[in-house]
Structure 1
Amino acid sequence: MNRAIRINEQRHARRRDAFIEALVGAANGYFKIYSIYLGHRLGLYRGLADLEALTSGELAARTGTHERYVREWLEQQAVAGILEVADETAPTLERRYRLPSGHAEVLIDRESVNYLAPLAQAAVGVARPLEALEAAFRSGGGVPFAEYGEELRRGVGELNRPLFLYQLGREYLPSIPDIHRRLLADPPARVADMGCGTGWSAIGMAQSYPGIHVDGFDVDAASITDARDNARNAGLDHRVRFEVRDAGDPDLTGAYDLVTAFECVHDMSDPVAGLTTMRRLAGSRGSVIVMDERTGERFTTADNPIEQFLYGFSVMGCLPSAMAEQPSAATGTLMRPDTLRQYARQAGFRDIEILPVENDFFRFYRLNV
């Protein structure tokens, strides 16, 4: 009996200590995210962009920031393994810091598909309405997307921007032969982009297919304002138009050759209504494509970093924003294929087809009438 008690106590201690270590590691990750956010927003990484080793005073002067804050940030970044130190034994004010080239691509190269600095921006944004989220947990209500503010809206937009500009129209859509042919053909194809966010998906399609016209729709007014600015800056506002509209609006009409929904169906309070609109807009000749998170086929507690990440965003952002409108399907970020299949059939589609598009984070579906 005593031996069994000792074994249980040892097991308890091991699990406790392992959890403590993991929790401390998570807190370190939290602080790293916020420090990356500061480096991104204040231009500190871009100040180091030429890979020159700078002192805290030099970087502060280059970025218009305060030396003492910059010095502490540089030391934290070096200890966190983000920056390199030329000589850590040098006097504090003479110590020089460098941004490694591999890290520079991730933190400052906006055109790279490996650009992840906006991930820190989105992570900060998703934590913004914590008091409202706590209240929603108690009441069963939700947190409107607008309450998450600019950081989440633009962070997610910038995070997906390279995929939409450099992969969507150059790799992913060309891998679907009939859709690719129609987007290249005359008369010019019309595309409806539902839940278009800050507009990069619509802009990316228009850049890759110079003849098409794209109408982007999103319920968030601030996102549409950003999308219009982005299209104008890209010189595409004559072919890309954005409008504040709910995807499930029964008055939304038109005839489109392609209807898309990129990473937004799981956010809809009424995804069946949104998909019903998409089916109506595509008619009998158009095609419907949905891109959403590459979740597992079923729930499992097996170690999976991507699902851990998705559940974090779901608890903090996607589920609360979907529940801000009632009644709500309350899908959450982890919309598994069977869930989308159920929604699609309720919307009048015959079935969904998982397309052979290779992406670690997203899965592409074709919805068939």
Structure 2
Amino acid sequence: MASQTVSQITPQKEIEKSKVDAFLEKAVSDFGAAVSAALVVVGDKLGLYKAMAGAAPMNSAELAARTGTHERYIREWLINQAAGGYIEYDPASGKYTMTDEHAAALADDQSPFFVGGGFQVITAMIKADERITKAFRTGQGMFWGEHHQDLFEGTERFFRPGYAAHLVSDWIPALDGVKPRLEAGALVADIGCGYGASTIIMAKAFPKSRFYGFDNHAPSIVHARSEAFHSGVASSAFFDIAGATNFPNAGGYDFIAFFDCLHDLGDPVGSLKRARETLNNDGVVMVVEPMAAETVEGNLNPIGRVYSGASVLCCTPNAIASGQTALGTLAREKDLRQVARQAGFSRFRKACETPMNRVFEVRP
């Protein structure tokens, strides 16, 4: 196919120009979205959104002065952001403003609506495009830790708002009998904990329980330990470098969680087998996975587009690099259930869901 000419590839028949024009309009829109993703990351890292949040209208010189940046770059950045509808422009004054609603999504990383981490993840994954292109031909994988460092921080910033909004208030209460056990004092393992956001959120909410976060990415564990200290939970939240198939048994866990990571693992059955081995007989495993449908057509929507892209650039390559099974980011519920059964669990149910996640309860 690569050696064919355009005339050989294009069917020799008339095409409807209106349909071509409609597609080209969509493609140009995607051009703008793709290039603007990088500029959102720039604005996030430089504090441009924070400077505009709640502020009076300002021009490029005023924003540059407030943020210690060069006006010429800021001038172009503001045009891009206004063209994308992220900020507003007033032609009469020549100044820009940010609405409170957009500020909640772009300027406040503690907001449940914050999306900056998502852009950080996407731009980090795109940096691996040459490696992934080669992998399409060789079938080789790419480990999580081989990506740009923004992926690790961005992933935590992408998922943390949802965890903070739903984990303690919605997800854990949806699991039969888990919340009372955590309140009384339970032993908990968080597998694939990354920067430790999920572990720390639980440790803050349930001070009588002890939490162990495990991840095979050493820099993430270093960061998680630091976050636990600064969050005041270092005496109840502990972090160690360990893989999902061989994490330590701290004495029989009452609750084991996999947050948005089971689909990344090359041996999901082996990982859940290890969970079964280290879980008390009356314990519970919670598997949180990205939102996905059971059919291809059910995933043909904006969320499916995002998650399938992440699957190609990051999740599936890591699974291929580390094992024989690649569930993919859009793992179907029936496939997850089959993995749990193969690992020795007998009960599997969807406990609840959000627009971005599904939460499953797994029991022996």
Residue identity over aligned pairs, in percent, reads 35
Q: Deviations over 1:97-135 (max 9, x none)?
A: 111111100001222211111111111111122221122
Q: Does 1:114 align with 2:118?
A: no
Shift of 1:231: 1.0
Mapped contact 1:165–1:203 kept (Cα < 8 A):
no
Cα distance in 1 for partners of 2:298, 2:22 equals: 17
Cα distance in 1 for partners of 2:133, 2:161 equals: 34
Shift of 1:250: 7.0
Cα distance in 1 for partners of 2:293, 2:14 equals: 35
Identify the residue that residue 360 of structure 1 maps to in structure 2: 355
Shift of 1:302: 6.8
Cα distance in 2 for partners of 1:204, 1:363 equals: 18
How do 1:101-140 and structure 2 match up within 5 A?
101-140=100-139
Identify the residue that residue 182 of structure 2 maps to in structure 1: 183
Identify the residue that residue 5 of structure 1 maps to in structure 2: none
Cα distance in 2 for partners of 1:64, 1:265 equals: 43
Shift of 1:51: 2.5
Cα distance in 2 for partners of 1:105, 1:161 equals: 15
Cα distance in 2 for partners of 1:75, 1:149 equals: 28
Q: Does 1:162 align with 2:161?
A: yes
Cα distance in 2 for partners of 1:271, 1:359 equals: 23
Identify the residue that residue 268 of structure 2 maps to in structure 1: 271
How do 1:25-64 and structure 2 match up within 5 A?
25-64=29-68
Cα distance in 2 for partners of 1:116, 1:218 equals: 24
**2:190 corresponds to which of 185, 189, 193:** 193
Mapped contact 2:293–2:299 kept (Cα < 8 A):
no
Identify the residue that residue 333 of structure 1 maps to in structure 2: 329
Q: Deviations over 1:178-202 (max 9, x none)?
A: 11111111xx211000111110110
Shift of 1:89: 4.6
Mapped contact 1:249–1:277 kept (Cα < 8 A):
yes
Kindly report the root-mean-square deviation, in angstroms, between the aligned alpha carbons of the 2 structures.
Answer: 1.7
Shift of 1:177: 4.3
Q: Deviations over 1:148-197 (max 9, x none)?
A: 12211111101111222332112221233411111111xx2110001111
Aligned length: 352
Q: Secondary structure at the match of 2:253?
A: coil
Shift of 1:85: 2.0
Identify the residue that residue 294 of structure 1 maps to in structure 2: 291
Taking structure 1 as the reference length, the TM-score comes to 0.91
Mapped contact 1:37–1:117 kept (Cα < 8 A):
yes
Cα distance in 2 for partners of 1:221, 1:301 equals: 37
